[in-house]
């Protein structure tokens, strides 16, 4: 008998099926990956197992846990299973932990509610659980509120809360999606290590995570099960077309074609840019510290780094959206100065921006036609409405949308369609530089591929330069010509795509690349390559900002700040660069 046996699970809302006849089982101690794009029904299935679906969901089929029917069970039975037999880790630990309660209180409630411990005994067990998930200084975090912890630490707390009552099954719903890639690697490693004999049902959109951490996998598409089996055989011979699409759409950080270097003239140069903010306490914070780079005509330059590395601040300062503390921007041989609203109109049209979340970047009250038309009304007052419509339609066609979309409102678009509209709006003025700030981060794999294809084709046609901010190294590898790696506001390495991914010189770059899960079960996952998290920008480490986490650091690194120097065409800021 399987530990978890789900047969013919269907979930409907107002008659509309979001999960349709799904079978899945988890044996004791094994790890199963549940994979699919957004809307595939993977999270809904998990919530059904714990009886957490809203009352209006119509659920049918059978969910047996350890021989006991869970579907339709009353709350008393479910409450005995929850946490005690089935632990749950949710995606975003900032939302999933109660911001009004101290960490310790939240965890001890689990023990108290299940009658496992009380009083000092419960406190001791909570501290023990926090120690197990390797939370630094557990006694202090016991008294901390969630907002006082970093994202990675919060997810450790979440895992501790899911395992504290010793469940037989752990369900983890996108447990690392909100985290930086090095922290993701740490969390996945932790999950492997501490779950012992607890079975794992891991829900994710990331095939790399499944390949590295699950023995079996199940692929869902639009609520239906399309593929299932041992992970190695599904990867080796996917039965269903959708599985193949998913596998093909997943770019790899370790292989595949990379764009050849571009040899155009320099279009834009940022020289010694620094950006500073004040935090709420009034302390000065170095978001960007002395960064220089150049973009050539027709080139895609990627800016990568973890959250807080300053990549967005750098580009926003360049665009004049936030003030630059020092440094300058030279565009086409002329200086670009001051905030964006003071810049000449022709200069503004040459640089356009696409944001991460297309839904909030588009005015919900405007139709697609007006959205794309608006920049033309500002910048090309001379043209008539017929010509404008022509330009808008042509632009829509270029991003792969039909003219029927002209009259749609943003809420009627899918995420990928909305992002293509945002790109069309940015490109309708024929800018020379397009800045994409995590522009594909919110999109599913297959849709992301379409959007990246649109960007590539526009670049080929019009010689567009692209500045591509991303935390996703696999995507960066597939699209960029050159890569800037930032850490704690500093530039640590600048290299051509091929050099950077094949043989990075900076230990941080190496660690970043090694942290990316590879969608191939044959490639063994590397142990989490980096400990710790990104440092505070108010009081950054002395010398090399990376030295506290660096495996190669010594006293020199702790005392002397490394300058960017050129080694065989790569610029790197490290006292002890890796060999090539």
Interatomic CA distance for residues 84 and 490, integer angstroms: 46
Q: How far is the CB of 132 from other proteins (least distance, A)?
A: 17
Interatomic CA distance for residues 417 and 216, integer angstroms: 33
Asked whether position 456 contacts other proteins by CB under 8 A, the answer is: no
Which sign does the torsion angle of CA 106, 110, 115, 118 carry? negative
Per the CB < 8 A criterion, the answer to whether 220 and 192 are in contact is: no
Residues 113-132 that bind other proteins (CB under 8 A): 113-114
* Closest to other proteins by CB, 154 or 482: 154
Buried-state track 461-471, b at ≥16 Cβ within 10 A, e below 16: eeebbbbbbbb
Interatomic CA distance for residues 533 and 14, integer angstroms: 45
The structure tokens listed for 530 are 């980096």
Query: Site for other proteins (CB under 8 A): which residue of 90, 405, 501, 508?
Result: 90
Q: What is the DSSP letter of 535?
A: P
How many residues belong to the site for other proteins (CB under 8 A)?
A: 32
* Closest to other proteins by CB, 203 or 225: 203
Q: Considering only 82-90, 319-327, 409-417, 535-543, which stretch makes contact with other proteins by CB under 8 A?
A: 82-90
Asked whether position 78 contacts other proteins by CB under 8 A, the answer is: yes
Asked whether position 84 contacts other proteins by CB under 8 A, the answer is: yes
Binding mask 133-152 for other proteins (x = CB under 8 A): ------------x-x-----
Q: Considering only 76-84, 233-241, 386-394, 448-456, which stretch makes contact with other proteins by CB under 8 A?
A: 76-84
* Closest to other proteins by CB, 75 or 539: 75
Q: 465-470 and 300-304 as β-strands: parallel, antiparallel, unpaired?
A: parallel
Q: What is the DSSP letter of 145?
A: -
Which sign does the torsion angle of CA 469, 471, 476, 481 carry? positive
Q: How far is the CB of 164 from other proteins (least distance, A)?
A: 9
**What secondary structure, in 3-state letters, does 191-221 show?**
HHHHCCCCEEEEEECCHHHHHHHCCEEEEEE
* Closest to other proteins by CB, 112 or 502: 112
Query: Site for other proteins (CB under 8 A): which residue of 7, 68, 95, 407?
Result: 95
Q: How far is the CB of 176 from other proteins (least distance, A)?
A: 16
Q: 301 — phi, psi (to 5°)?
A: -105, 120
* Nearest of 294, 297, 298 to residue 318 by alpha carbon: 294
Q: Which residue's entry shows tokens 């011979």?
A: 237
Query: Site for other proteins (CB under 8 A): which residue of 15, 67, 99, 119?
Result: 99
CB atoms within 10 A of CB 538: 13
* Nearest of 219, 210, 209 to residue 42 by alpha carbon: 219
Q: How far is the CB of 65 from other proteins (least distance, A)?
A: 13
Asked whether position 381 contacts other proteins by CB under 8 A, the answer is: no
Asked whether position 12 contacts other proteins by CB under 8 A, the answer is: no
Q: Considering only 97-105, 222-230, 326-334, 530-538, which stretch makes contact with other proteins by CB under 8 A?
A: 97-105
Interatomic CA distance for residues 338 and 278, integer angstroms: 20
Q: How far is the CB of 166 from other proteins (least distance, A)?
A: 13
Q: Considering only 8-16, 74-82, 404-412, 563-571, which stretch makes contact with other proteins by CB under 8 A?
A: 74-82
Cβ-Cβ contacts under 8 Å for 422 (sequence gap 6 or more) = 354, 355, 358, 361, 362, 439
Q: 548 — phi, psi (to 5°)?
A: -65, -25
Query: Site for other proteins (CB under 8 A): which residue of 96, 169, 304, 314?
Result: 96
Query: Site for other proteins (CB under 8 A): which residue of 64, 79, 189, 357?
Result: 79
Query: Site for other proteins (CB under 8 A): which residue of 52, 377, 538, 567?
Result: 52
- Which residues bind to other proteins, rule: CB under 8 A? 50, 52, 75, 78-84, 88, 90, 92, 95-101, 105, 109-110, 113-114, 145, 147, 158, 161, 165, 280-281
């Amino acid at each position: 008998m399987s530990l978890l046996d789900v047969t013919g699970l269907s979930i409907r809302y107002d008659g509309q099926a979001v999960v349709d006849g799904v079978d899945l089982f988890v044996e004791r101690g094994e790890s199963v990956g549940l994979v699919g794009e957004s809307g595939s029904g993977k999270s809904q299935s998990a919530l059904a197992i714990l009886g957490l679906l809203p009352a209006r969901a119509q659920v049918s089929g059978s969910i047996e846990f350890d021989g006991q029917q869970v579907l339709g069970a009353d709350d008393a039975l479910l409450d005995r299973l929850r946490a005690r037999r089935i632990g749950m880790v949710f995606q975003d630990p900032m939302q999933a932990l109660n911001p009004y309660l101290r960490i310790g209180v939240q965890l001890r409630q689990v023990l108290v509610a299940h009658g496992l411990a009380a009083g000092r005994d419960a406190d001791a067990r909570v501290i023990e659980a926090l120690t197990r998930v390797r939370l630094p200084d557990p006694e202090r975090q016991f008294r901390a509120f969630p907002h006082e912890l970093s994202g990675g630490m919060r997810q450790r707390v979440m895992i501790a809360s899911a395992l504290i009552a010793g469940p037989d099954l752990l369900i983890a719903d996108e447990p690392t999606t909100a985290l930086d890639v090095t922290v993701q690697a740490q969390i996945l490693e932790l999950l492997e290590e501490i779950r012992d004999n607890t079975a794992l049902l891991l829900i994710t959109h990331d095939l790399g995570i499944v390949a590295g951490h699950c023995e079996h996998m199940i692929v869902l598409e639009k609520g239906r099960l399309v593929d299932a089996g041992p992970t190695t055989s599904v990867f080796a011979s996917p039965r269903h077309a959708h599985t193949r699409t998913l596998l093909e759409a997943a770019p790899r950080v370790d292989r595949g074609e990379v764009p050849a270097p571009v040899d155009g003239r320099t279009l834009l140069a940022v020289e010694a840019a620094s950006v500073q903010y004040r935090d709420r306490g009034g302390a000065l914070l170095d978001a960007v510290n002395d960064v220089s780079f150049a973009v050539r005509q027709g080139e895609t330059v990627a800016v990568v780094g973890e959250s807080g590395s300053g990549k967005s601040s750098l580009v926003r300062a360049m665009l004049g959206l936030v003030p630059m503390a020092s440094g300058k921007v030279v565009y086409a041989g002329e200086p670009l100065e001051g905030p964006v609203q003071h810049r000449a109109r022709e200069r503004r049209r040459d640089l356009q921006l696409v944001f991460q979340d297309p839904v909030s970047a588009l005015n919900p009250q405007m139709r697609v036609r007006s959205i794309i038309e608006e920049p033309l009304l500002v910048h090309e007052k001379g043209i008539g409405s017929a010509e404008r419509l022509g330009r808008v339609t042509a632009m829509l066609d270029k991003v792969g949308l039909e003219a029927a979309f002209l009259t749609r409102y943003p809420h009627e678009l899918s995420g990928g369609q909305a992002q293509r509209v945002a790109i069309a709006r940015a490109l309708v003025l024929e800018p020379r530089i397009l800045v994409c700030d995590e522009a594909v981060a919110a999109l599913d794999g297959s849709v992301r591929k379409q959007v990246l294809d649109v960007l590539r084709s526009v670049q080929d046609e019009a010689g567009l330069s692209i500045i591509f901010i991303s935390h996703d190294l696999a995507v960066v590898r597939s699209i960029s010509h050159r890569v800037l790696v930032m850490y704690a506001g500093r530039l640590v390495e600048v290299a051509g795509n091929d050099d950077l991914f094949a043989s990075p010189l900076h230990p941080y770059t190496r660690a970043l690349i090694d942290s990316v899960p590879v969608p191939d079960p044959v490639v063994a996952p590397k142990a989490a390559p980096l400990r710790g998290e990104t440092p505070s920008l108010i009081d950054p480490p002395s010398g090399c900002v990376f030295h506290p986490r660096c495996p190669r650091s010594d006293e020199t690194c702790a005392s002397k700040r490394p300058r960017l120097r050129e080694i065989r065409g790569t610029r790197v800021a490290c006292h002890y660069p890796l060999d090539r």
